[in-house]
Chain A
Amino acid sequence: MSELVIKNLHVNVADKEILQGVHLTVKQGEIHAIMGPNGTGKTTLAYTLMGHPGYVATKGEVLFKGQNILELEADERSRLGLFLAFQYPVAIPGVTVANFLRTALNARRRAVNKEDKGIPVPEFRKMLKEQMDLLKMDQAFAGRYLNDGFSGGEKKRAEILQMATLKPEIAILDETDSGLDIDALRVVSEGVNALTGPNLGVLVITHYQRLLNYIKPQFVHVMMNGRIVESGGPDLALSLEEHGYDWLREKEKTEETA
């Protein structure tokens, strides 16, 4: 079983330290949620795990399948089984959803076998149709340029479609609920839930508790000032909903002064 182990991770963005020692382990089959106020480093953690060049790990390590993935390029991490659903998916004009997904699948096949001719088109079409049906997506979607002129809901569904196609072992969902109305949120969550199971570990990053009504985590963590300050079960999310983050801030202060 794969697990993603984050040990004492420190990360700088533009020479400013944003993550200040994060420890976290996510195993295949588990669902974790990271909550926290804006600007505490949640997205920084997501980008760092995926290997964005603008996020520089200065200390610590991230182990996945026996490797410190901080030393790998983003595409290598992806092929190893890591996935990030972006908060703001990037538009790729001129590249259709179908063409893009096929390229991504073929990159995986070629990494295994250089001579691979790529996934046969009929097989790809069938697979894509099934996944799109599952996410209640119109087939015409496959022919549109990736994220180009997509609504918020379409972008998030496209992210989940990619996740379904690429079959990661650990998926990070960065603010997947942002910009979604309640119907879109339900569809996207159902999509995620259809993919969860013993083979997928999920790290849900969210600002609001409402997503967690749909995607039920077993573990909830609170991030503040670049560190995880509290971990618990689903109840923790509910008490945050009720009491906000202030009591944690108070607690932090007390501990610091203690």
Chain B
Amino acid sequence: MQEKRKVVISKSPRVESGAKDFAFTQADIPASSGFIASYRARAWDAFKKQTLPDTTLEAWRRTDLRALPVDSFKLPTDGAYKDFPSMPEELFKPLVADQHGGQIVLFPGGSKIDLDASLAKQGVIFTDFKTAQEKHPEIIEKILGQTVNVEEGKFAALAGALSQTGVILYVPKNTHIEQPLHSILWGPGANLAHISHLLILLDEGANATYVHESASPTESSDAFHAGIVEIKVMQGASLKFVELQSWGKHVWNFSHERIRVERGGSLDWIFGAIGSKLTKNFSELDLAGEGATGRMSGFYFTDGTQHLDHDTQQNHLAPHTTSDLLFKGALKGKSRSVWQGMIYVAKGAEKTDGYQANRNIVLDEGARADSIPGLEILADDVRCTHGATVGRLEEEPIFYLKSRGIPQKDAERVVVEGFFDPIMQRIPFEGVRERFHQAILQKMG
């Protein structure tokens, strides 16, 4: 029988001969052993197998990486931070209470760890990846690679294989942490690749508030960050997780994040993004146990030529689960934002309630916001709603405010602050709200 010739149109990126790739080698994989070593090896294989995503892929259709100088990034060496500007004092300040329960600062090639002694006594682990690898591998094993699959993408694989920095948080059963935990990934330097991995496990009935911030000054040539965030909120546990992204405007920023919430657990997930040159962020919420709830609130404000792409997914995998997402963004200059959201309701996940909304205000002619909501529902008896809007600053409200003596610029700021107010209302921390407020003031000029 003669074999019929098939024409295959592949949707995966074609590997062009001589296509650019990162200059990293296997020797860059941080030393590790046992479980962690095999995870990293698996991730490295996945990294080598995958090419850089291009705009033929649906998830990357609006985010073009052709200008990414992939081969120019180096990993920071041990102690590299000594050659870089130190972190501004204000970043050390607590954002969500008067004081921290613990604080970790991650520098290029170093870290500084601080944890309240009483928390340590209760069995709370809050340390950097390297220390945890030596002292608490059993905790790492409970979560590493369990919510984010390194096969998911080039950058997930890269971060899995090469992460040299990161945070481990473990809160034992029924332990309630009153004081918030705070970590900062401080990534100064040009032509550097900062690669991070955050692992958080809240055991049954545990309770914590955690703020993680990524920041750097703006440098004259490009830098890179790839990160994985893996979080498990076990049965009846409750986590408030705040992520602030204020990378310098030279940073290409990629992250894969997924939080799994078990039966009766709850999550309050807040994003604030004002920095980076380009960001592609995949944030996924898995409501895995009956009655799990998750709220995702996002704030972004872009200017100049910034490009921020947030890809969110609310996965209802069990009955009686509730998710509620609100992302709001403002855009200036020639910046661009993309929000692409999906509510997925698995078969059998009855009585779920999913909501997603994305609102954008475009402040300049040259800026552009894309808003793409999506629903995929395989269960009956669910309630899922979504909404997406892209609007401009209207003349009438501005005139109204000016007629009360408020100058043009202040009037614009007042309207923009009003636009963001519903997001501010969702943020239970004065310090975080104040940070966003400052960002608005600064971006509005």
Residues of chain A having any CB pair with chain B under 8 Å: 50-54, 73-75, 77-79, 83-84, 86, 89-95, 100, 103-104, 107-108, 111, 145, 162, 166
With an 8 A cutoff between CB atoms, is B95 at the interface? no
Chain B window 401-423, contacts with chain A (Cβ cutoff 8 Å), 1 for yes, 0 for no: 11111111011001101111110
With an 8 A cutoff between CB atoms, is B400 at the interface? yes
Residues of chain B contacted by A92 (CB below 8 angstroms): 397, 400-401, 414-415, 418
CB distance B421 to A94 under 8 Å? yes
Q: Could you say which of A78, A90, A95, A107 contacts B417, with CB atoms under 8 Å apart?
A: A95
Q: Could you say which of B396, B399, B408, B421 contacts A95, with CB atoms under 8 Å apart?
A: B421
A77 to B404, CA, bound (A): 9
B395 and chain A: residue at smallest CB distance: A53
A89 to B420, CA, bound (A): 21
Residues of chain A contacted by B419 (CB below 8 angstroms): 93-94
Given the known interface contacts A75-B407, A75-B408, A90-B396, the answer about A95 and B414 at a Cβ–Cβ threshold of 8 Å is yes
Tell me the chain B residues, 372-417 only, with Cβ under 8 Å from chain A: 395-397, 399-408, 410-411, 414-415, 417
A111 to chain B, nearest CB (A): 7
CB distance A53 to B399 under 8 Å? yes
Q: Could you say which of B397, B402, B420 contacts A74, with CB atoms under 8 Å apart?
A: B402
Residues of chain B contacted by A51 (CB below 8 angstroms): 402-403
A166 to B415, CA, bound (A): 20
CB distance A103 to B403 under 8 Å? no
Residues of chain B contacted by A78 (CB below 8 angstroms): 402-405
Residues of chain B contacted by A86 (CB below 8 angstroms): 400, 403
Residues of chain A contacted by B421 (CB below 8 angstroms): 93-95, 145
B351 to chain A, nearest CB (A): 31
CB distance B422 to A94 under 8 Å? yes
A94 to chain B, nearest CB (A): 3
Q: Could you say which of A74, A94, A100, A162 contacts B399, with CB atoms under 8 Å apart?
A: A74
Q: Could you say which of A77, A79, A93 contacts B418, with CB atoms under 8 Å apart?
A: A93
Residues of chain A contacted by B404 (CB below 8 angstroms): 75, 78, 100, 104, 107, 162, 166
CB distance B405 to A104 under 8 Å? yes
CB distance B403 to A74 under 8 Å? yes
> What are 19 A-B contacts defined by CB distance under 8 Å?
A51-B402, A51-B403, A73-B407, A74-B399, A75-B405, A75-B407, A75-B408, A78-B403, A92-B414, A92-B418, A93-B419, A94-B420, A95-B421, A104-B401, A104-B404, A104-B405, A104-B406, A107-B406, A166-B405
A91 and chain B: residue at smallest CB distance: B397
A198 to chain B, nearest CB (A): 22
A52 to B398, CA, bound (A): 10
A95 to chain B, nearest CB (A): 4
Given the known interface contacts A75-B411, A100-B414, A103-B414, the answer about A90 and B405 at a Cβ–Cβ threshold of 8 Å is no
Given the known interface contacts A92-B418, A100-B414, the answer about A75 and B406 at a Cβ–Cβ threshold of 8 Å is yes
Residues of chain B contacted by A89 (CB below 8 angstroms): 400
A5 to B408, CA, bound (A): 26
Most buried by A among B400, B410, B411, B420: B400
Q: Could you say which of B399, B400, B410, B420 contacts A103, with CB atoms under 8 Å apart?
A: B410
A73 to B402, CA, bound (A): 8
Residues of chain B contacted by A103 (CB below 8 angstroms): 406, 410, 414
A38 to chain B, nearest CB (A): 21
A73 to B421, CA, bound (A): 28
* Closest 4 A/B residue pairs (Cβ): A94-B418, A94-B421, A78-B405, A74-B402
Q: Could you say which of A52, A91, A93, A107 contacts B405, with CB atoms under 8 Å apart?
A: A107
A54 to B396, CA, bound (A): 10
A69 to B82, CA, bound (A): 60
B399 and chain A: residue at smallest CB distance: A52
CB distance A95 to B418 under 8 Å? yes
A120 to chain B, nearest CB (A): 19
A217 to chain B, nearest CB (A): 23
Residues of chain B contacted by A79 (CB below 8 angstroms): 405
B185 to chain A, nearest CB (A): 31
Residues of chain A contacted by B395 (CB below 8 angstroms): 53-54
A50 to B402, CA, bound (A): 9
CB distance A75 to B400 under 8 Å? no
A238 to B415, CA, bound (A): 43
Most buried by A among B403, B410, B420: B403
B413 and chain A: residue at smallest CB distance: A103
Most buried by B among A74, A108, A162: A74
A54 to B394, CA, bound (A): 13
A74 to B400, CA, bound (A): 9
Residues of chain B contacted by A54 (CB below 8 angstroms): 395
